[in-house]
Amino acid sequence: MLSLNQVRNGANIIVRGTPFVVVEAKHLKMGRGGAKLNTKLRNLIDGSVIDYTFAGEEKLEEASVSYRAAQFLYQEGETAHCMLTDTYEQTALPVRSDQTKFLTEGGNVDLVLWQDRVIDLRVPKKVPLTVSYTEPAAKGNTVNAATKDATLETGAVVKVPLFIKTGDLILVNTELGTYDSRA
């Protein structure tokens, strides 16, 4: 059991029998009243996000989720097909478009298991991707922030510095959806 003080971003908890991950947690201490915890929770099963407030001395049950290394094979509609790297067993699971927009075929992922069933897909924090198209840099074009749009091999578009060219390999932060560095 977790007390409200132990709940942090990224913690897995159970609310009403369903596993959630804490996306955002804000601790509030009122003058004379008890402490509150305002949270934004993402459902690990269906991906929905809810706002939830915990009050007082409430105890939370920690969700015991496990992770298994897998390889992303392909996406078919809203279903991702993955292969476990240790047993070569294939599995299919529903995914959101924001989860797979930075994944290439053969890329490494982690499958999230709860009660011995695959419930979610966890993308690595940083992935290397090739720039498939970007405009050439125009000399003296640094009036605004010196960035330009780049289309990646997966079709996703991110802002990159002016020195990045078509064909460059870059690292993309998948949590923020932004350029991180050259690979």
**What does the mean pLDDT of the chain come to?**
86
Identify the bridge partners of residue 120 per DSSP, sorted by sequence position.
112
Q: What CATH code is carried by the domain that includes residue 45? A: 2.30.30.30
pLDDT of residue 91: 92
Tell me if 67 sits within 8 A of 110, measured CB to CB: yes
Q: What's the CA gap between 164 and 147, in Å, rounded?
A: 9
The pair of three-digit structure tokens given for residue 135, joined into one six-digit string: 């405009």
- Boundary residue ending a domain (17, 42, 62): 62
Residues 48 and 87 reside in one and the same domain: no
Domain that holds residue 23: 4-62
Q: What CATH code is carried by the domain that includes residue 167? A: 2.40.50.140
pLDDT of residue 140: 64
Q: What's the pLDDT tens digit per position in 45-60?
A: 887 889 988 887 788 8
pLDDT of residue 141: 60
Residues 168 and 152 reside in one and the same domain: yes
| DSSP secondary structure code for residue 60 in this structure | B
| Number of separate domains in the chain | 3
pTM reported for the whole predicted model? 0.74
- Write the CB contacts of 141 (distance below 8 Å, at least 6 apart in sequence): 162
Residues 72 and 103 reside in one and the same domain: yes
Residues 38 and 73 reside in one and the same domain: no
Amino acid at position 41, single letter: L
Is residue 78's pLDDT more than 90?
A: no
Residues 118 and 141 reside in one and the same domain: no
